[in-house]
């Protein structure tokens, strides 16, 4: 069969995997859309990503099948999209799936679009090659949909019009009423408590996701207000996640979610965005929980994995690791008892099997996936060994088994570098490096930021994605907001005036090209982006934080640091535009609640000025306690290119001063470290 596949030159490894399919795949491009219009063929849009297990299953069953491909090529113009490179398309068509089917979507996402305006008239996810489990055979379904498209055009056009109106309503913030006040914060705390799993941590039943944004909100709000329940929900959940099988106890890093309510068996893909957020969160939890060792170890394991496996030689962080290796989910991570026993000494084996559940029944397809079962104190009581000795034996056993595991066929790695996800890791590395005293982690964050600046910042605007240094695609709200936020965190870890200048450029572009000038808030796409069936303005959090929420927080911080009121005014407009959503469903908008708290109670900012070598003890003193609403910037006296608000806050030669500010008010500077 003669095919014309146009994915060979894609930067996305996910798209390149489909370049050898017998399907006439196109990327999303003007040529494909024009072909569909000219030939009046519906568009078959398939959205997935490299680490997606069911995407691989459907590709093998259907897209590699000659018969199915023949049906697709005859009846449709087929477009394949990497949702990580085109989150705008994914947001639009996932929302359309929800409206058309009245249930959540997922990946692979399968959508049929009208060729004239790309409106979706059918949506689904995975479909099997033969009818089973209540799902039709994929090729049969395609024939039926094409028939309906050509025979019932008027009905489809009416449905499309209704759907476009519904999409606009989905992004509406709701009708705002009254002044901004704290009631939604308290409502969200009650809502989250009602869904909290007191036995295993987390919220609801299986499957369970980490939800780092929710845990961050609970930890911070619990600490601010003295709400012990909120604080404990966060800390206990983080404990259960760190102990569970969702944590890779040998290689570091967290998998995407747990298929059970116990955090035992994960879906084995590892995503950069989860680990960036969890690294920052565990660093905060470590500081909040009196430097608890378990949380510090979680930081070390995540950072170690990122440095060892996920940072490219050029500096950027790769996107993800697949769930599968050798065609089987999780195979790389699983163990037999014989493998473990052969690799370890008798003493190592004794403590390792108790610690990670190998003395219990197999928990994944006849093999063992490691999860924390017994703590050190329990093992010490059973064995008579000292806790320090047990820790040494466990460290030795983990090292041996990781070396053994590294010889296996590894899961695939998606080696594209995404701006938004890299920003989350830059923030995580900077936060954890600063709090735990790890300058190498801060170095790693700086390398990644330098890579983004050198390769993704072009002609005064950001690009989304690169591979081997080749960048493409106009960036989205999340790219600008996350990177702005990450830079402000990195400046707390290590001051560099050029990065403050870059942050100001990002904020300027954000306001000029993303702000809704009529209603406030920020669209997901810029005003000069490709025209699509809908321009999203999303407010709620999902696996990644709401771009609007991060923008609001970051703009408040930038305004406080730079003294420029423009950023604060934009953040306040955005909050007012979101007020209806916060009143209606606050627990779905925890990121916006953080911005609301900053508006109601402006955070504290400490500006330390003096010689670089003298600033370290002052910074350590300022950060000795966990204060969620305190930002500390140690700015050397030699720093140049500072905005006027910072140049007025300086120290005379040989002196160090600390300026304490809140909102627009600053106190007289502290001149003595004991005062601080």
Confidence band, pLDDT 50/70/90 cuts, at residue 175: low
Among the CATH numbers 1.50.10.10, 1.20.1740.10, 1.10.460.10, 1.10.640.10, which is that of 183-326+414-600?
1.50.10.10
Q: Please determine, for residue 174, whether its predicted confidence score (pLDDT) is greater than 80.
A: no
Q: Please determine, for residue 412, whether its predicted confidence score (pLDDT) is greater than 60.
A: yes
Cα 508 from chain centroid (whole Å): 24
What is the predicted pLDDT for the residue at 4? 77
d(CA 479, CA 610): 34
DSSP state of 603: P
Computed on alpha carbons and rounded to an integer, the radius of gyration of the chain in Å comes to: 26
Q: Please determine, for residue 160, whether its predicted confidence score (pLDDT) is greater than 90.
A: yes
d(CA 601, CA 593): 12
What is the predicted pLDDT for the residue at 171? 73
What is the predicted pLDDT for the residue at 3? 62
Q: How far is CA 487 from CA 445, 523, 570, 675, in A?
A: 10, 22, 19, 29
Q: What are the extents of the domains in the chain?
A: 13-170, 183-326+414-600, 331-410, 604-666
Q: State mean pLDDT over 320-341.
A: 95
Cα 617 from chain centroid (whole Å): 33
The angle, 0 to 180 degrees and rounded to 10, between the axes of the packed helices 272-288 and 228-243 is 130
Q: Which of 5-19, 164-178, 451-465 has the highest mean pLDDT?
A: 451-465
Q: Please determine, for residue 263, whether its predicted confidence score (pLDDT) is greater than 80.
A: yes
Tell me if 543 sits within 8 A of 554, measured CB to CB. Answer: no
What is the predicted pLDDT for the residue at 2? 53
336: closest CA among 383, 363, 368? Answer: 368
What is the predicted pLDDT for the residue at 100? 95
Q: Please determine, for residue 176, whether its predicted confidence score (pLDDT) is greater than 80.
A: no
Q: Residue 480: CB partners within 8 Å, gap ≥ 6? A: 462, 506, 509, 510, 514, 551
What is the predicted pLDDT for the residue at 55? 94
Confidence band, pLDDT 50/70/90 cuts, at residue 467: very high
Output the six-digit token pair for 627. Answer: 């204060």
What is the predicted pLDDT for the residue at 656? 93
What is the predicted pLDDT for the residue at 169? 83
Confidence band, pLDDT 50/70/90 cuts, at residue 177: low
Could you report the per-residue pLDDT of 487-518, keeping only the tens digit for each?
Answer: 999 999 999 999 999 999 999 999 999 999 99
Tell me if 248 sits within 8 A of 399, measured CB to CB. Answer: no
**pLDDT > 90 fraction of the chain, expressed in percent and rounded:** 91
The CATH code belonging to domain 13-170 is 3.40.30.10
What is the predicted pLDDT for the residue at 650? 83
According to DSSP H, which parts of 530-608 are helical? Answer: 547-562, 565-584, 590-600
Output the six-digit token pair for 613. Answer: 């070598």
Tell me if 228 sits within 8 A of 222, measured CB to CB. Answer: yes
Cα 499 from chain centroid (whole Å): 22
What is the predicted pLDDT for the residue at 11? 86
Q: Which residue has the higher pLDDT, 174 or 650?
A: 650
Task: Kindly tell me the burial class for residue 531, based on how many C-beta atoms sit within 10 Å of its own C-beta (0-12, 13-18, 19 or more).
Answer: exposed
Q: In the predicted model, what is the mean pLDDT of the chain?
A: 95
Q: Is residue 232 helix, strand or coil?
A: helix
d(CA 495, CA 441): 15
Could you report the per-residue pLDDT of 196-244, keeping only the tens digit for each?
Answer: 999 999 999 999 999 999 999 999 999 999 999 999 999 999 999 999 9
Torsion of CA 499, 505, 509, 515, to 10 degrees: 70
Q: Residue 126: CB partners within 8 Å, gap ≥ 6? A: 54, 57, 58, 106, 108, 110, 135
Q: State mean pLDDT over 552-574.
A: 96
Torsion of CA 142, 144, 150, 154, to 10 degrees: -110
Q: Is residue 670 helix, strand or coil?
A: strand
Tell me if 42 sits within 8 A of 151, measured CB to CB. Answer: no
Torsion of CA 660, 662, 666, 670, to 10 degrees: -10
What is the predicted pLDDT for the residue at 450? 98
Q: State mean pLDDT over 399-414.
A: 97
Strand order in the sheet with 604-610: 630-636, 604-610, 657-662, 665-666
Q: State mean pLDDT over 171-193.
A: 83
Q: Which residue has the higher pLDDT, 667 or 77?
A: 77
Could you report the per-residue pLDDT of 348-406, keeping only the tens digit for each?
Answer: 999 999 999 999 999 999 999 999 999 999 999 999 999 999 999 999 999 999 999 99
What does the DSSP assignment read for 154-190? HHHHHHHHHHHHHHHHHT------S---SHHHHHHHH
What does the DSSP assignment read for 243-267? HSTTB-TTT--B-SEESSTTS-SEE
The CATH code belonging to domain 331-410 is 1.10.10.10
Q: State mean pLDDT over 435-451.
A: 98
Q: Please determine, for residue 334, whether its predicted confidence score (pLDDT) is greater than 70.
A: yes
What is the predicted pLDDT for the residue at 173? 53
d(CA 380, CA 651): 54
**pLDDT > 70 fraction of the chain, expressed in percent and rounded:** 99
d(CA 652, CA 637): 8
Say how many C-beta atoms besides its own lie within 10 A of residue 370's C-beta: 24
Q: How far is CA 337 from CA 353, 365, 368, 522, in A?
A: 9, 13, 8, 54
Could you report the per-residue pLDDT of 579-589, keeping only the tens digit for each?
Answer: 999 999 999 99
Confidence band, pLDDT 50/70/90 cuts, at residue 14: very high
588: closest CA among 214, 335, 219, 137? Answer: 214
d(CA 344, CA 398): 9
Q: How far is CA 411 from CA 19, 100, 258, 310, 398, in A?
A: 20, 35, 18, 13, 20
DSSP state of 566: H
């Amino acid at each position: 069969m003669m095919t014309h596949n146009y994915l060979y030159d894609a930067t996305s490894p996910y798209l390149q995997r489909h370049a050898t399919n017998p399907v006439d795949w196109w990327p999303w491009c003007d040529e494909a859309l024009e072909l569909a219009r000219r030939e009046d063929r519906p568009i078959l849009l398939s959205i997935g990503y490299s680490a997606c297990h069911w995407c691989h299953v459907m590709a093998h069953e259907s897209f590699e099948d000659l018969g199915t491909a023949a049906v697709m090529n005859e009846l449709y113009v087929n477009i394949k999209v990497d949702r990580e490179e085109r989150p705008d398309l994914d947001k639009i068509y996932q929302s359309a799936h929800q409206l058309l089917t009245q249930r959540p979507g997922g990946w692979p996402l399968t959508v049929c679009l009208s060729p004239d305006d790309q409106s979706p008239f059918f949506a689904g996810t995975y479909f099997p090659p033969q009818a089973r489990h209540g799902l039709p055979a994929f090729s049969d379904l395609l024939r039926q949909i094409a028939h309906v498209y050509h025979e019932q055009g008027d009905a489809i056009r009416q449905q499309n019009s209704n759907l476009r109106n519904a999409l606009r309503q989905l992004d509406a913030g709701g009708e705002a009423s009254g002044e901004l006040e704290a009631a939604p914060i308290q409502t969200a705390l009650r809502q989250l408590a009602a869904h909290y799993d007191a036995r295993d941590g987390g919220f609801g039943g299986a499957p369970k996701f980490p939800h780092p944004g929710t845990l961050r909100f609970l930890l911070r709000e619990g600490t601010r207000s003295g709400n012990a329940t909120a604080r404990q929900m966060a800390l206990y959940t983080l404990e259960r996640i760190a102990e569970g099988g969702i944590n890779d106890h040998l290689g570091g890093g967290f998998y995407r979610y747990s298929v059970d309510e116990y955090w035992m068996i994960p879906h084995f893909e590892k995503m950069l965005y989860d680990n960036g957020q969890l690294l920052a969160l565990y660093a905060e939890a470590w500081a909040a929980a009196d430097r608890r060792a378990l949380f510090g170890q979680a930081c070390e394991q995540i950072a170690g994995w990122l440095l060892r496996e996920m940072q490219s030689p050029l500096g950027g962080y790769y996107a993800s690791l697949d769930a599968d290796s050798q065609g089987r989910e999780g195979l790389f991570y699983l163990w037999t008892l014989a493998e473990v026993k052969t690799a370890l000494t008798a003493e190592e084996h004794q403590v390792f099997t108790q610690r990670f559940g190998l003395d219990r029944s197999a928990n994944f397809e006849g093999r063992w996936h490691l999860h924390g079962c017994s703590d050190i104190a329990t093992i010490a009581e059973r064995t008579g060994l000292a806790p320090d000795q047990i820790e040494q034996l466990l460290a030795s056993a983990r090292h041996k088994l990781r070396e053994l595991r590294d010889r296996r066929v590894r899961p695939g790695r998606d080696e594209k570098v995404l701006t938004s996800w890299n920003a989350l890791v830059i923030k995580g590395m900077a936060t954890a490096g600063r709090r735990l005293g790890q300058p190498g982690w801060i170095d790693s964050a700086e390398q990644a930021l330098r890579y983004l600046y050198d390769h993704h910042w072009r002609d005064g605007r950001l690009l989304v994605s690169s591979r081997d240094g080749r960048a493409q695609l106009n960036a989205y709200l999340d790219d600008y907001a996350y990177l702005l936020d990450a830079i402000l965190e990195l400046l707390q870890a290590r001051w560099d005036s050029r990065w403050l200048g870059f942050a100001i450029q990002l904020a300027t572009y954000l306001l000029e090209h993303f702000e809704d000038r009529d209603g406030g808030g920020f669209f997901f796409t810029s005003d000069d982006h490709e025209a699509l069936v809908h321009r999203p303005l999303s407010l709620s959090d999902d696996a990644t934080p709401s771009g609007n929420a991060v923008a609001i927080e970051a703009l408040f911080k930038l305004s406080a640091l730079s003294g420029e009121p423009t950023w604060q005014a934009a953040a306040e407009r955005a909050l007012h535009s979101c007020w209806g959503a916060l009143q209606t469903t606050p627990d779905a908008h925890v990121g916006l609640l953080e911005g609301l708290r900053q508006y109601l109670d402006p955070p504290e900012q400490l500006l330390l000025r003096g010689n670089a070598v003298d600033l370290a003890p002052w910074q350590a003193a300022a950060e000795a306690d966990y204060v969620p609403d305190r930002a500390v910037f140690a700015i050397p006296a030699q720093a140049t290119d500072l905005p006027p608000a910072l140049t007025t806050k300086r120290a005379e030669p040989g002196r160090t001063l600390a300026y304490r500010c809140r909102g627009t008010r600053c106190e007289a500077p502290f001149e003595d470290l004991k005062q601080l």
